[in-house]
Amino acid sequence: MNQTLTAEVTIAVKFSEVDSLRIVWHGHYVRYFEDAREAFGLKYGLHYLDVFGAGYVTPIVKVTCDYKKPLKYGEHALIRATYVDTEAAKLIFKYEIYRAEDMALVAVGETIQVFLEAENQQLYITVPDFFEQWKIKHGLK
Amino acid sequence: MNQTLTAEVTIAVKFSEVDSLRIVWHGHYVRYFEDAREAFGLKYGLHYLDVFGAGYVTPIVKVTCDYKKPLKYGEHALIRATYVDTEAAKLIFKYEIYRAEDMALVAVGETIQVFLEAENQQLYITVPDFFEQWKIKHGLK
Amino acid sequence: MNQTLTAEVTIAVKFSEVDSLRIVWHGHYVRYFEDAREAFGLKYGLHYLDVFGAGYVTPIVKVTCDYKKPLKYGEHALIRATYVDTEAAKLIFKYEIYRAEDMALVAVGETIQVFLEAENQQLYITVPDFFEQWKIKHGLK
Amino acid sequence: MNQTLTAEVTIAVKFSEVDSLRIVWHGHYVRYFEDAREAFGLKYGLHYLDVFGAGYVTPIVKVTCDYKKPLKYGEHALIRATYVDTEAAKLIFKYEIYRAEDMALVAVGETIQVFLEAENQQLYITVPDFFEQWKIKHGLK
């Protein structure tokens, strides 16, 4: 039975993130996704530094973002990252961004990461041992 | 017969854009897309300020980016935006990013924008007149 | 007797903020200052939106930052903004940034803001009424 | 007789750089300075990669920026970096930012960098040999 692994972070919209339309510039949502992915990593032991310590880096190979509503200065964003399990040697997260004030859905998105050996930057096409262990530990196997 | 409308811009990778893996941080590609979209707007009279002058703003409702190869500090990116015609009241661009030094394909992507009336931020569900005129002028109708 | 008015915020260093030397890129500290200035505004009723509501905007006319030690990915920054009272029609803050893990001093800085009338963007060369009232309320007069 | 060593770069203000006051957010000027410093490095053989090749990195230890006029979307910035010679083991640049359309002075600033040995991140308190050679080559000694 698979678990749903998820982490959330709430942030205040920054003045420097808002564009001349007085809404968060769309490119910043990619960083919001990263904020939630980092919160996930800290919560479940899959932080960039954990992965690096195991000898891997996990560059992003795909980002998708669908924008539903604007976010304004003075508002807060709740960003949720949910782990999506796959047999492939990939790390997939889905994201939802909500306006924290009323929990209106602001955006949804997805990222896909692959595993490279940190030392030689070679793509790792099977699931690395450390990640198999991580899956077992978190009830995904 | 439809025309292919396309614009290109070449930029140097900035020190501030490179992350601790010594490659351009993935989120900056969304801005690279915007750089090419602005070059397109200036070339074909569809710049943000042209659109605003016609009474509209065109927020992004979807971004996709597929990363193929990393870009490093000291390298240059050639970013190409290609207009994708549609019957819908949308503005669609496809993007290719090349490493200018050897024209290796670095990333591909797409953005979708909608038309809002600038004054009241209401979604415009039919193609605005100014945009119909723009299509005719550029041989798309 | 003057009060010391001060506000603090603690943030995690983001992956996207770290450069190829694996330290926070120096330009991001200006945003760190803004983070603390916003915390100050929320704490003492001098937020951008409060000021705007009173009919003013307060653009930055000077920034200084002295860098003492680097900040690394995985570390946290405690940023403190301290209000510096002046007779002039200016808003002055001093900043200290500490590495939260050991409270080592990472940077110090200062910003100076002036008052413009929001409507016409004209410089206001005397202290605005709302700001005099704010000073009285906070024991600075 | 000392030479004035200077380099310029002209950039278009990006949509993503403009804040809700419809002017370039003040923190981006630090990146504008870096753009001109990189142009200087490429022109005079003092690029980050040249310095790194000689075994050094040159982190910023101080930034100052005085803002004179706002820059708006649709405008262009001409950024000039001028080398300031010093006996100290430091690298000092002064900057002027002009609105390219009418050459109005938009901002002035300064950065100070020090020399660290790339390998061990130790501060180098005398002028490195490679930099002495660079000074001789460019008529500064």
At residue D121, the pLDDT reads 85
Give B106-139 pLDDT, tens digit per residue: 999 999 999 999 988 889 889 999 999 999 999 9
At residue C1, the pLDDT reads 46
Mean of per-residue pLDDT scores for chain D:
95
Instruction: Check whether C98 has a pLDDT greater than 80.
Output: yes
Q: Is A89 an interface residue toward B (CB < 8 Å)?
A: no
DSSP assignment letter at D126 = S
Side-chain-side CA neighbours of residue A66 (13 Å) = 8
Please name every residue paired with D80 in a beta bridge, in sequence order, or none if there are none: D8, D96
Average pLDDT value for residue range B18-28: 94
In this prediction, residue D21 has a pLDDT band, given cuts at 50, 70 and 90, of: confident
Q: Is A34 an interface residue toward B (CB < 8 Å)?
A: yes
In this prediction, residue A96 has a pLDDT band, given cuts at 50, 70 and 90, of: very high
Among B81, B83, B59, residue whose Cα is nearest residue B140: B83
At residue A2, the pLDDT reads 59
Q: Is A33 helix (H, G, I), strand (E, B) or coil?
A: helix
Residue of B nearest to C22 (CA): B20
CATH superfamily of D6-137: Hotdog Thioesterase (3.10.129.10)
Kindly provide the residue ranges of all beta strands, DSSP E only, lying in chain B, ordered along the sequence.
6-12, 56-57, 60-67, 76-84, 90-99, 104-114, 116-117
Instruction: Check whether D2 has a pLDDT greater than 70.
Output: no
With a pLDDT cut of 90, the percent of chain B lying above it is 87
At residue B42, the pLDDT reads 95
ipTM higher than the 0.85 cut: yes
Among B15, B35, B26, residue whose Cα is nearest residue B65: B26
Instruction: Check whether D1 has a pLDDT greater than 50.
Output: no
Instruction: Check whether D3 has a pLDDT greater than 80.
Output: no
Side-chain-side CA neighbours of residue A112 (13 Å) = 12
Which CATH number is A6-136 given? 3.10.129.10
Average pLDDT value for residue range D13-34: 95
Q: Is C43 an interface residue toward A (CB < 8 Å)?
A: no
User: Looking at this protein, which amino acid is placed at residue C116?
Assistant: L
Distance between CA D103 and CA D76 in Å, rounded? 10
Average pLDDT value for residue range B8-30: 95
Side-chain-side CA neighbours of residue A39 (13 Å) = 20
How close D96 gets to chain B, by Cα (Å)? 19
Average pLDDT value for residue range C13-32: 95
Instruction: Check whether B18 has a pLDDT greater than 60.
Output: yes
Instruction: Check whether B1 has a pLDDT greater than 50.
Output: no
Beta pairing class for A56-57 and B56-57: unpaired
Dihedrals φ, ψ of D119, to 5°? -70, -45
CB contact under 8 A, D34 and C27: yes
At residue B2, the pLDDT reads 59
With a pLDDT cut of 70, the percent of chain A lying above it is 99
At residue A84, the pLDDT reads 97
Side-chain-side CA neighbours of residue B90 (13 Å) = 14
Least confident of A84-88, C64-68, C117-121, D50-54: C117-121
Give B43-101 pLDDT, tens digit per residue: 999 998 899 999 999 999 999 999 999 999 989 999 999 999 999 999 999 999 999 99
CA distances from residue C86 to C5, C61, C136 in whole angstroms, order as listed: 13, 15, 13
Give D67-100 pLDDT, tens digit per residue: 999 999 989 999 999 999 999 999 999 999 999 9
How close D1 gets to chain B, by Cα (Å)? 33
At residue D141, the pLDDT reads 85
Is residue B75 within 8 Å of residue B18, measured between CB atoms? no
In a mutagenesis test of the D interface, which of C21, C32, C95 is the best target, namely the one with the most D β-carbons within 10 Å? C21
Distance between CA B73 and CA C20 in Å, rounded? 9
How close B30 gets to chain A, by Cα (Å)? 6
CA distances from residue D15 to A107, B36, C64, C106 in whole angstroms, order as listed: 21, 12, 26, 32
Dihedrals φ, ψ of A135, to 5°? -65, -45
Is residue C115 within 8 Å of residue C91, measured between CB atoms? yes
Q: Is D65 an interface residue toward C (CB < 8 Å)?
A: yes
